[in-house]
Amino acid sequence: MSFEEDDEVVLHDEHSEYDGETGTVTQVMETMFGDATYTVTFEEGQEAGVPEDSLEAEE
């Protein structure tokens, strides 16, 4: 599943201080391999370069 700007997502990355938190996709970047990475903004900061498989749509 791909995400677009302003989508609400939950981050799943045990190495991130935002693991398990809900944030908003603020930027979608395409890598040279055609994959998308995302910048997600949270209440207390942001995480850049997040791969799609680390995100889940907020319900």
pLDDT confidence of residue 6: 98
Which residues sit opposite 57 in a β-bridge? 9
Per the domain annotation, does 22 fall within a domain?
A: yes
Among all chains, which residue has been given the structure tokens 């791969």?
51
Residue 2 lies in a domain: no
Give the span between the Cα atoms of 34 and 24, in whole angstroms: 22
Residue 26 clears pLDDT 90, i.e. is over it: yes
The total number of structural domains in the chain stands at 1
Whole domain around residue 45: which residue ranges? 8-57
Quick one: tokens of 15? Answer: 């190495």
Q: Examine the pLDDT at 21 and tell me if it is beyond 90.
A: yes
Contact 23, 6 (CB under 8 A): no
Give a yes or no: residue 1 inside a domain.
no
Cβ atoms of residues 39 and 23 within 8 Å: no
Is 41 within the bounds of a domain? yes
Q: What is the average pLDDT value for the chain, to the nearest integer?
A: 96
Kindly state whether residue 43 falls inside one of the protein's structural domains: yes
Answer yes or no: is 52 within a domain: yes
Inside any domain, residue 12 = yes
Q: Say whether pLDDT at 11 is over 80.
A: yes
